[in-house]
Amino acid sequence: GRVAYRAPLVAVNEGMFFLFGVNKHKPWIETSYHGVITENMDTVLLDPPLVALDKDAPVPYAGEICAFKIHGQEAPFEAEVLNRTSGEGVLRARGPVDCEQQKEYTFIIQAYDCGAGPNGAGWKKSHKAVVHVQVDDVNEFSPVFREPVYRATVTEGKIYDSILQVEAWDQDCSPQYSQICNYEIVTQDTPFAIDRNGNIRNTERLSFDKQQHYKIMVTAYDCGQKRATESVPVHIDVKPVCKPGWQGWNKRVDYEPGTGSKQLFPKMHLETCDGPLSSVRAMVELQTSHIGKGCDRETYSEKSLQKLCGAASGSTDLLPAPSASTNWTASLLTDSGRDSDLIFRFDGRQAANIPERVVPQNLTDQFTIATWMKHGPSPGLRAEKETLLCNSDKTEMNRHHYSLYVHNCRLVFLLRRDFTQMDTFRPAEFHWKLEQICDKEWHYYVINVEFPAVTLFVDGVTYEPYLVTDDWPIHPSQIDVQLTVGACWQGGEVTTPRFTQYFRGSLSGLTIRPGKIETQKVISCLQACKEGLDINSLESLGKGIKFHFNPAQSVLVMEGDDLESINTAMAKVSYINSRQFPTPGLRRLRVTTTVQCFGEDTCISIPDIKAVVMVLPPSEPRITIAGVERVTWPAAELRTATGVTLFKDIRIISTVTKSDNAFSSGTTAENAKYHNCLVTDRWPMWCVHLVSGVDSMAHYEQAIRQVRYHNWRPAGLSERKFRLSCSELNGRYTSNEFNLEVRILHSSEAVEHVNHLAVQSQYMRPVHHPLVVHTVNSDHIAGTPPAATVVIVMCIATLVAIVVLGIYRIHTTHQEGTKGDEDGGKEPEMDWDDSTLTITVNPMEVRH
């Protein structure tokens, strides 16, 4: 009852028979594979090789491998059967594989047999195997630097371990080709080296003076020795060793007169080498001690300057210029001062007795003593008194009535009052201890006495005495007193009267004025410097800046806690000279700076600055005298009581002022200048002092126009020639020589002259000298005279008499004239006669 199934037999090969329709076993493959593929290639090398086995072999179809299939990650690979019988296969990439995009892949692979028959029905698949594929890199990319250019700065003189580091990178994916294994400096003969990490160092000490900048080219190599396509430039700047100090200033600053205030350090800044600053203190000092009496001041004489400043009249000059009437200073040593400066130098061996006619007899309870003094420390441990001024007994006794002296750098004023009904102690010695007394610089000292109070002014600043000692009054006596300068006269209690307590130093302008004291305004005017330091635009200084000037404005101290503010403030420091014609030459500048850091007293040392201000020579003014140059006068008019006017139409023009109307306008003494005029007769030579004082140009023109010429005996004279010249600013600038010709007509000539008056002769034609004007910029700071500044004139008109025959002829002629009168009025024969020459002397003194 059972039916036996018999499978069909198919002859495959001769002698062999296989059974179709049977597929008993699944293919078999390894459980995992590891593969390597080189990028841009297509074949994967697998380990172990891709081989599938089937136990149904050698049965056709069932024992053959028909396919390998890949699952997962969308892997860019495919497997191909190379031999169906052996089961060998190959793994290939479907397209280019790029390591830089993905370095490895993991996916599943299975093998499939061919099924039970030709149609593939009944196929079986193997288990899943894991395939790991690694993409091998190809060195296709060159190194590239991360920056297009590298820069660094080094300080000269240092050896650096690393100045800077350059860095390159490579796009290749593998460590072998993506890593940079070496750097190289391409530029030849440079003092630099580079290591494999890209660190650049210097191989020798660099010098800023030798070379300030280096440019080197650097390349890189990856570990496959592929070189960078482009080298990178490296710029290295060499800077000098950082030295704290002021930078950006000029050693010389030129100053043009009349330009006002000029900045001294417009681009200066302080280099602190990045120090942590807490404060900066800078002191700017203008050194002008070599100029006159310590700085550029007006060049008027002491007497003229007192009038300009409005000082009270009645002062006595105890150190005037030596002359016939002031000969007590002739034996003193003098320094050649500038312009009108008259400086007396005392070396401890000179002194002068003031004549009794000069000495004020009654000082009263109010008086003023003023002087310029330059004094240094006295030699020796116990220095003696050094007397500037002393009024002592001339004989018998040795009492000092009043004196002014220096002792151990202290200024002492002694005042012993005369005995009155109140016989009590009174203030007698007043002591001041000041640095100025022994600093070897010029200072202006004024002692105002309002007994019993005494006040000292030094350079316009008030100082009260630190010590006042009392003494008994001096009992009255009949002993004469002697006023001395430079020492004290000891006329009694010694065998031989002599000077003692000699002064060592320099004095100028020593005056005493009884009955009045000076105001502080006048004192400040008398000693005021016309040059000094200034701050341009005070309002723009920062709030954190503190500044202070000394009274003379020769020292400026600035303090601040912010470096930028200090730099801004120092850029505004200026020099100013308000004189229209300043003293040309050098003024030295010195800047001393102290820097403090947080938690330290002084952390940085700032070198001092030494510079100069060069005051350029001013444009010289021109003084021009113009007027009628030829006049004719009848001889009869010369014999009249009024005589003839010589300079009726004279005009003096000076370019010290900007316009001519400045000479005719009324002015005060503060805006006047100084003038000096000289008149001479060109044939004889006889000089007479005519006029002096401080006044306007118009008034001095009027004074010169009042000069009249008389000659009661003009017989034999046909003409007279006069020459007028003027100098300005105490002789500093001189005018042209104005020549006046006076033709003298006698009786017959006078009639002919009258007939020709209708036709003006050449002698009456006004001829004017050409006026050459140099433009002078008179824009000054406040206090400078305006355009209507009028010149202070001292006119010395000198009319000339005969010198050829000398004084003897003058005397002889005068005797002959007298004898002729006695003989009945007979007029003697004579070549000339000036015995009755009349000159009006100083007509302005009455007006003043």
pLDDT digits (tens, 9 = 90+) for 497-515: 889 999 999 998 899 989 8
CB 552 within 8 A of CB 529: yes
Task: State residue 691's pLDDT score.
Answer: 56
**Which residues, in sequence order, are CB contacts of 697 under 8 Å at separation 6+?**
652, 654, 662, 663, 664, 675, 790, 791, 793
DSSP state of 125: B
What are the distances in angstroms from CA 387 to CA 219, 315, 384, 409?
A: 87, 21, 9, 12
Pairing of strands 555-560, 410-415: unpaired
Q: Which residue would you say has higher pLDDT here, 176 or 747?
A: 176
Task: State residue 681's pLDDT score.
Answer: 55
Q: What is the CA radius of gyration of the chain?
A: 56
Task: State residue 2's pLDDT score.
Answer: 39
Model confidence at 83: pLDDT above 70: yes
Q: What's the whole-number mean pLDDT along residues 523-537? A: 84
CB atoms within 10 A of CB 323: 9
Helices (H) and strands (E) in the chain, counts: 9, 58
Token pair belonging to 249: 């200033």
Longest dimension (CA), the chain: 221
Model confidence at 750: pLDDT above 70: no
Q: Which residue would you say has higher pLDDT here, 710 or 843?
A: 710
pLDDT category, 395, cuts 50, 70, 90? confident
Least confident of 223-237, 453-467, 516-530: 516-530
In percent, the amount of the chain with pLDDT more than 70 equals 77
pLDDT category, 495, cuts 50, 70, 90? confident
Q: What's the whole-number mean pLDDT along residues 364-390? A: 86
pLDDT digits (tens, 9 = 90+) for 465-475: 999 887 777 76
Model confidence at 431: pLDDT above 90: yes
In percent, the amount of the chain with pLDDT more than 90 equals 35
- DSSP lists the bridge partners of residue 431 as 412, 467
- 224 φ/ψ angles, rounded to the nearest 5 degrees: -95, 10
pTM above 0.85, yes or no: no
Distance, in Å, from the CA atom of 659 to the CA atom of 671, rounded to the nearest integer, reads: 14
Task: State residue 360's pLDDT score.
Answer: 83
Q: Which residue would you say has higher pLDDT here, 670 or 566?
A: 566
- DSSP characters over 51-79: B-B-TTTTSTTTTSEEEEEEESTT-SEEE
Task: State residue 274's pLDDT score.
Answer: 78
Least confident of 325-339, 519-533, 833-847: 833-847
pLDDT category, 375, cuts 50, 70, 90? very high
DSSP state of 291: S
Least confident of 155-164, 193-202, 477-486, 748-757: 748-757
Task: State residue 483's pLDDT score.
Answer: 92
Q: Which residue would you say has higher pLDDT here, 348 or 808?
A: 348
CB atoms within 10 A of CB 33: 20
Q: Is 64 helix (H, G, I), strand (E, B) or coil?
A: coil
pLDDT digits (tens, 9 = 90+) for 276-327: 788 899 999 998 877 777 777 766 667 777 777 888 788 889 998 888 888 8
- 594 φ/ψ angles, rounded to the nearest 5 degrees: -125, 130
Least confident of 516-530, 545-559, 627-641, 692-706: 692-706
Q: What's the whole-number mean pLDDT along residues 182-198? A: 95
pLDDT digits (tens, 9 = 90+) for 753-804: 544 443 443 333 333 333 222 323 333 333 333 322 333 333 333 333 323 2
Residue 500 is which amino acid? Answer: T
CB 485 within 8 A of CB 510: yes
Measured torsion, CA atoms of residues 831, 836, 839, 841, in degrees rounded to the nearest 10: 140
Calculate the average pLDDT of the chain: 78
Q: Is 663 helix (H, G, I), strand (E, B) or coil?
A: helix
- DSSP lists the bridge partners of residue 355 as none
